[in-house]
Structure 1
Amino acid sequence: MGWLMLILIAAAAMAALVLLRVDRLLWSMIGAALMLGAAGYAWQGSPTLPANPARPEALRVADDPSLVDLRERMLGRFTADAAYLIASDAMARSGDRRSAVRAILGGLNRYPRSLMLWTGLGTALATHDGNILSPPALFAFRQAVRIAPEHPAPLFFLGLAYVRANDYPAARQAWAKALALCPEGASYRRDIAVRLDLLDRLLATQAPQ
């Protein structure tokens, strides 16, 4: 398919030269440019492969930066266990989801009661498993809840994982609990409230009339 498109482009270029009555002295220069482009395509491209539309999931290399900021406001940033989560983020951005999980597991070996790392592990496992709430991912989130039952972060990120898994009712339940646990003056309270409101609107559109 790639070669066919290349041939069509070359034919169109030659037709344009004729129709526009370009001086024949310039034809060799334009032809050389086309040949150079074809050579570069043959070297760097994959002309023998069939066309294949890009998938959104394959193009996504990182989460919404606002979620990283929200996580840091909820759980902190300048801590010893946060370094493992930052390393995991970098690996996830590069597309290496397995190493992203391993980075957090390495941190948990050293900080086994880290709320931040157990919450991050739940998110990393859910992403690694194809945005589904696998038993290991659910275990990680539940462990985070056990460590800090009054903290909204595990429930919020559990809800986010449910959203990515298209389980909106479960996400709504988790986010409502997270919002109820938010202190009144917390900087992240409004972030959770806005997302919960948007989710409620989505659920309303899906409700039977």
Structure 2
Amino acid sequence: MKHLLIFVLVLLTACSTKTKNETVDGKTIAPTRFGQELVDVGFLKFADSTKLDSLRTEVINSFYIYDDANYKITHVDAEELAEFSFDFFVPSLNKMLERRGFRLDVATAGDYEDTHDIVINGKRIRLYSKDELDNGKSWESAPSNFFREVNKQLDENGIDESFYLLYTGNDLHVLLITEDEREIIANNYKHVPKEIPYVP
């Protein structure tokens, strides 16, 4: 009877290990591995210091990386961006960027109704073309063009993070992360592609 009880306990432990752990390169790892890696590479470097302990717990224990207090993510909404509604998301971007010593000044160009041009920190760019607008592609082009320019300016200012897009359409969010952080997030969500941040 004692041997049967030990066998059942070993079997239950093995079964629970299979459901909770993952095998990578022949090694069994706990589900918090990627959360710990994210914290270790500095994911919470700019986080709200008054919430740091709870944020660290969220990231490590459940890989919850979407808390505004991380100063890493914000909702943009591709429709708002394509319709030049910068007040919808630029203040949130600036809250994140100011922690890194950077700020965005975004305005429509005087002839934006014809050109679809905007000005980001004095640099004029085309948000989307007339063809893209006519073909219903402005919601895709606007975020790509906008954040490509912002990322270029971040790089020029020595900031090692870039904006990556997450989701699309009205659900569009951006994550301000390093390439190492993006890789860890991608590894964590390798079976859930929609959760993987992508290059603008």
* Fold conserved between structures, TM > 0.5: no
TM-score of the two chains, using structure 1 as the length reference = 0.30
Give 1 or 2 for the bigger CA radius of gyration.
1
Q: Which has the higher relative contact order, 1 or 2, with Cα contacts under 8 A spaced 6 or more apart? A: 2
Identify, as 1 or 2, the structure richer in helix.
1
Identify, as 1 or 2, the structure richer in strand.
2
